[in-house]
Amino acid sequence: MSRLAVVCGGSRGIGRAVSRLLAQRGCRVALVSRSQDAARATVASLHGADHVALSCDVSKEMEVQKTFEMIQKTCGHISYLVNAAGINRDALLLRTKPEDMVALLHTNLLGTMLTCRAALRSMLHTQGAAIVNIGSVVGLKGNAGQCVYSASKAGLEGFTRSLAKEVGSRNIRVNLLAPGFIRTDMTAGLKEEEGVRSIPLGRFGEPEEVAQAALFLLESPYITGQVLVVDGGLQLAM
Ligand code: NDP
């Protein structure tokens, strides 16, 4: 039986690129996003068969619990979990509404905690199980106008390193990817000409380039608790 990969936030952007690459590598993909239609459309475009699309808001504990129960019941035990579900609400702190703070922390940080918690028991039953969480360079370096988003991503670093320590003895690995500017819906409103000035490689990254790094971490049997930056060198200038 091929490996089962759960990709949260798999319908668009980085998560979709990860789903495509994993499907090309022969994994069955359980793709999770709030929009069932978008998830179904992406699943229909994946290489191979036996992929499933599930609607779930990762910030809601009951939904996460039910979704992962359903995945295990219908698809079997989970080998890989990729947490790419995320939102941004960029604004200076003084202009950030408390409800946006809650949404950012609940989706980006709590959502990842909930999906990891829901997947772990199942992952104990598979060889070479691995989790990749998606943070951000701004979680490592900070960025004006992204205080709460940065905090949610910085939280993922501590969470990832701690969970790696907790589950290492069970041979489950946990790593964090920290992308810079990647060309997706999330960065569609940014002026690329301005952003690229501080990127040594001189361009935004593509979702497929982050997917390559995610695959590397998923498949590297002796790497855990690490942060891999995928940013074209951006953090060198931050
Ligand atoms: P997109 O906006 O392109 O895609 C976000 C994905 O997450 C969609 O599939 C969306 O589907 C899903 N999603 C959002 N909220 C939820 C939720 N509550 N529950 C379930 N699914 C959800 O974003 P990117 O691909 O650009 O970003 C992916 C991750 O990478 C995010 O965590 C982001 O913070 C991070 N990142 C992105 C960077 C970039 O430059 N693009 C840079 C650094 C980090 P739906 O809306 O249907 O739920």
Q: Average pLDDT in the 119-128 region? A: 97
**pLDDT (tens digit, 9 = 90+) per residue, 159-212?**
999 999 999 999 999 999 999 999 999 999 998 888 899 999 999 999 999 999
Q: What is the best residue among 14, 16, 40 to mutate for testing ligand 1's pocket, by most ligand atoms within 8 Å of CB? A: 14
Residue 212 domain boundaries: 4-237
Radius of gyration of the chain (CA): 17
Question: Domain count of the chain?
Answer: 1
Give the closest residue (by CA) to ligand 1 atom 48: 34
Structure tokens at 14: 């980085």
Contact 214, 178 (CB under 8 A): no
Give the CATH number, domain containing residue 207. Answer: 3.40.50.720
Distance in Å, CA 13 to ligand 1 centroid: 7
Which residues have CB under 8 Å from 158's CB, separation 6+? none
pLDDT for 182: 98
Is 222 in the active site? no
The rounded distance, in Å, linking the Cα atoms of 119 and 79 is 9
Kindly report the number of other CB atoms within 10 A of residue 27's CB atom.
Answer: 24
Kindly report the number of other CB atoms within 10 A of residue 35's CB atom.
Answer: 13
Among candidate residues 72, 64, 89, the one with its CA nearest the CA of residue 148: 89
- Tell me which amino acid residue 5 is: A
The rounded distance, in Å, linking the Cα atoms of 203 and 197 is 8
User: Which of these is catalytic: 68, 149, 159, 204?
Assistant: 149
ipTM (interface predicted TM): 0.99
What is the pLDDT confidence band of residue 57, given thresholds at 50, 70 and 90? Answer: very high
pTM above 0.90, yes or no: yes
The rounded distance, in Å, linking the Cα atoms of 44 and 41 is 5
Q: Which atom of ligand 1 is nearest to the CA of 138?
A: 43
b/e code 79-112 from CB counts within 10 Å (16+ = b): bbbbbbbbbbebeeeeebeeebbebbbbbbbbbb
Distance in Å, CA 84 to ligand 1 centroid: 6
SS3 166: helix
Q: What is the best residue among 6, 7, 8, 12 to mutate for testing ligand 1's pocket, by most ligand atoms within 8 Å of CB? A: 12
Among candidate residues 158, 191, 186, the one with its CA nearest the CA of residue 174: 158
The rounded distance, in Å, linking the Cα atoms of 43 and 109 is 25
Distance in Å, CA 169 to ligand 1 centroid: 31
The rounded distance, in Å, linking the Cα atoms of 64 and 44 is 23
Mean pLDDT score of the chain, rounded to an integer?
97
Q: Average pLDDT in the 143-147 region? A: 97
